Structure 1
Amino acid sequence: MTAPTIKIARTLWGVDGFNEPGKWDELFGRIKAEGFDAIECTTLTWRCDPKLLRELLDKHELGLICQIHTTGGDIDATTGEYQYLTSSKLHAHLASFVKLLTEAAALKPLFVNSHSGHDSWSTETAVAFFKYALTMEASLGVPVVHETHRQRLLWNPYSTAEILKTEALKGKLKVNCDLSHWCCVCEHVFDATSARDDWWPATLALVAEHCHFVHCRVGHAEGPQVNAPEAPEHAKDVDAHFGWWRTIWQAQAARAGAPPVVWAEPEFGPPPYMQTLPFTNEPVSDLWKINSRLMVPKKKWVHTLGGQQGGGYVQVDVEDEEAATKASGLAVSAALRELAVQDVEAVAAAKAAAEVQAQARAAVQREGNLKGAEMAAAARQTGVTFFCTPLVSAEGELPLLNTALQAMNAPADAAGGGGGAVALGKMLFSAAEGEQLAIVTYVPSGQNVIDVSEWTASVLEAIGGKVMLGPPKMVSNGTEEGRGTRVEAAVAADPDAGKSPTKDLDVGLAAAVAFLKQKGALPSDLE
């Protein structure tokens, strides 16, 4: 099966400016800049200015998902509060559905997400409503998904399964799965490995057959939303939800054909969904960041005053995923785009690989801190400002050598240590036998003795063989004094020519020192 492409929508629920047309241009620009593909909004947004809404969504190349609430959608003239569910009568919900769907269809949405009907209805009444809803959907030519939401027809897994099995709806009704509601209703996070939940795999498979949209919110046994999905105390609940979502997306992909495209939406909500602190009513987490962190977009953006795209959001040039997520304020967490289509074994393998990588980075940082401190001490004693050194822990990998360079250049009082050697020139070597010799060269700004590219090229010439030499790049440890220029290079292993990375390392070290002596950057009698 081809892995599905997951398109991500951003909910406007609880977002500042959702009902202020003057803020939409900047808001939609920000949403697009963070990598989202569409927005989802209710009548509270589109009734403000339907024409402007459509124009700005087109400008920012965002799709629209309209959310409707049968017997809701209006503001109570007396209380000023939003009306969500005002009747339990079938005829009232049918009339409301027609009115709201017609209104939403005029906006040309990708599809409509409906909170449909009333949870008190029998299966027969629910089926009657859905049959009429399917007729209206076909008449207006706009797809409709019906959400698994509390107070509504699909409010629990048991009656939902009965409804979806009826001949009139089987394979026809489209569902939006927000399974966090079911955890709350049943006061339980379903576990297919438990004897009490032996019914769950079949129900999940049935729902997946009908699902066309997923609201990605992690619920728990006592509520529809955990306070922070990265928190370790919620790991079991997060893993359960991601497992369900993957099952659903794989089912969608199987019936969608190639190339399959499926839609999802991080939908953590504001208070009272979001927990608050007592007496202050302050939310315990940042709603915007949670709904961004769940997806970790491929493009990395940061907010800067005067930015040209998205009302202050501009793309940044970062060199690795960890730095990118830090730069954009996003956490490295369960990413929908990355984990959605992987099976359990692949996810476990990815986690294990990530742990190995984290251990390797930690080892390189420790070695970099130590080597940097030794360089700084030697410079104070001898006045030497250029050094050449091998690093064992980098294992011939350029990214790890760059991590070591960052550790060497970090201030000595930095968190986790730091070599304090930012003012010193360096050529770092790391050999991986059978693979390559990696080289990273750094020359601080403000000196006019050594050219970073010339130094590196002279070493590569001495080594010979199959070499790679990258262009010089400016780097910084965050201060003007810490700026410098870095060059990356590598020499491939070539056993047929009698060359090995270990032997090339010895040649490279000798050539690097010889170049420094020739340029007067090292005393000629220095051993």
Structure 2
Amino acid sequence: MEIQFYCPRWGSENLSWEDFCQKASNAGYDGIEVGFAQNDTAAGFMQIWNTAEKYKLKVIIQHYDTCDADFSKHFDLYCTWLEKVKTLPCVKINSQTGRDFFSVEQNTALIEAALQVSKQTGVQIVHETHRNKFSFAAHIAKNYLHEIPDLKLTLDASHWVCVAESFLEDQVEALELAIERAEHIHARVGYPCGPQIPDPRMPEWQHALNMHLNWWDKVVERKKKEQSVLTITPEFGPSPYMVYLPGTQTPLCDQWEVNVYMMELLRERYAKGYNSSQMGVLANQTEKI
């Protein structure tokens, strides 16, 4: 099994693409994850892709900004977006899909539209577990996963932890199903009162970190059995995800440093020799914290 680590563009928009790609390469990332907006162009993306290729970085495209509350308009915008990106060179497409208040039939239509494009192109489209989207909560996403066998996820459990105000101890079935369908991970750590802990390096946040590590371990173990590639984007974000000191513009810690820390932690954790028996020990330790 191969694990590839992707650097989020989110939070580094102040850097030129040249500087960003060089910095990501120097940090040891395998690729970059890039938001592609409704008004972005294929020509603009190719300039980004050429810069990434210069630094031997792969690219994941992220969909995030189809937000119209009118379903008919939303559906047309999403399909137009899919049409625009379907021939662009990328490893996969990560989609924040639908709305939490759309009906099951409406959100299913959006997922099916993405599945059709994926079948046409061979490019995998994974749907991010995200607040405000169809997959905003574990128990809701579980129903879609049962009804749509081909539905694949970007697992970002931090959102579910925040929505449920718990570490999902009572939603084991939903988590297990999500783990079975996860093809991409957003490695951000949430806690019951928010989608992002202030700093995963600090001892007071080790319980939250270990809960997420336990879920990610299970995805890795599954992918090892399948002998397939797993992509991971450490995705601690800037403000307002990153907490600032009150009355200042000073973040509590450095976003870039935290994401590099997460990449290095996971790369070491999943290096050759990491096995399921070790996972069991770590899971037991997690429960005692």
Same fold (TM over 0.5): yes
Distance in 1 (alpha carbons) for counterparts of 2:99 and 2:71:
8
Q: Does 1:337 align with 2:251?
A: no
> Aligned letter for 2:74?
H
Tell me how far 1:94 sits from its aligned partner.
Answer: 2.1
Q: 1:205 aligns with which of 176, 180, 200?
A: 176
Local SS of the residue matching 1:49: helix
Spell out the pairing of 1:54-93 with structure 2 (5 A cutoff): 54-69=49-64, 71=66, 85=67, 87-93=68-74
Native 8 Å contact 1:252 1:262 kept in 2: yes
Local SS of the residue matching 2:20: helix
Structure 1 runs not aligned, ≥5 long: 72-84, 192-196, 297-334, 353-527
Partner of 1:283: 251
Partner of 2:214: 243
Q: 2:19 aligns with which of 23, 26, 29?
A: 26
**% identity of equivalent residues:** 29
Tell me how far 1:119 sits from its aligned partner.
Answer: 0.2
Tell me how far 1:253 sits from its aligned partner.
Answer: 3.0
Change (3 A) 1:113 1:188: same
Distance in 1 (alpha carbons) for counterparts of 2:117 and 2:44:
25
Native 8 Å contact 2:86 2:117 kept in 1: no
Partner of 1:376: none
> Aligned letter for 1:220?
Y
Q: Which digits, 9 at most, give the CA deviation of each residue in 1:224-259, with x for residues without a partner?
A: 0000001111111000000001112222333x3x3x
Local SS of the residue matching 1:252: helix
Native 8 Å contact 1:90 1:129 kept in 2: no
Distance in 1 (alpha carbons) for counterparts of 2:234 and 2:108:
29
Q: Does 1:11 align with 2:8?
A: yes
Change (3 A) 1:66 1:102: same
RMSD: 2.2
Change (3 A) 1:104 1:345: same
Native 8 Å contact 2:79 2:113 kept in 1: no
Native 8 Å contact 2:214 2:279 kept in 1: no
Q: 1:184 aligns with which of 162, 172, 185?
A: 162
Change (3 A) 1:347 1:275: farther
Q: Does 1:233 align with 2:204?
A: yes
Change (3 A) 1:9 1:187: same
Higher helix share: 2
Distance in 2 (alpha carbons) for counterparts of 1:346 and 1:180:
20
Spell out the pairing of 1:18-417 with structure 2 (5 A cutoff): 18=15, 23-43=16-36, 47=41, 49-69=44-64, 71=66, 85=67, 87-166=68-147, 169-170=148-149, 172-191=150-169, 197=170, 199-200=171-172, 202-254=173-225, 256=226, 258=227, 260-296=228-264, 335-340=265-270, 342-343=275-276, 345=278, 348=281
Structure 2 runs not aligned, ≥5 long: none
TM-score by length of 2: 0.89
Local SS of the residue matching 2:263: coil
Structure 1 stretches of 4+ moved >6 Å: none
Native 8 Å contact 1:102 1:140 kept in 2: no
Tell me how far 1:16 sits from its aligned partner.
Answer: 4.3
Change (3 A) 1:46 1:124: closer
Tell me the matched-pair count: 278
Tell me how far 1:33 sits from its aligned partner.
Answer: 1.8
Tell me how far 1:173 sits from its aligned partner.
Answer: 1.1
Q: Which digits, 9 at most, give the CA deviation of each residue in 1:339-395, with x for residues without a partner?
A: 24544635858xx9xxxxxxxxxxxxxxxxxxxxxxxxxxxxxxxxxxxxxxxxxxx
Tell me how far 1:158 sits from its aligned partner.
Answer: 0.4
Distance in 1 (alpha carbons) for counterparts of 2:107 and 2:79:
16
Native 8 Å contact 2:154 2:186 kept in 1: yes
Tell me how far 1:137 sits from its aligned partner.
Answer: 2.2
Local SS of the residue matching 1:295: helix
Return the index of the structure with the highest Cα Rg. 1
Tell me how far 1:121 sits from its aligned partner.
Answer: 2.2
Native 8 Å contact 2:221 2:276 kept in 1: no
> Aligned letter for 1:274?
M
Tell me how far 1:53 sits from its aligned partner.
Answer: 1.1
Change (3 A) 1:139 1:93: farther
Q: Which digits, 9 at most, give the CA deviation of each residue in 1:414-460, with x for residues without a partner?
A: xxxxxxxxxxxxxxxxxxxxxxxxxxxxxxxxxxxxxxxxxxxxxxx
Change (3 A) 1:176 1:346: closer
Q: Which digits, 9 at most, give the CA deviation of each residue in 1:294-313, with x for residues without a partner?
A: 122xxxxxxxxxxxxxxxxx
Which is bigger in relative contact order (C-alpha 8 A, separation at least 6)? 2
Tell me how far 1:222 sits from its aligned partner.
Answer: 0.4
Change (3 A) 1:104 1:56: same
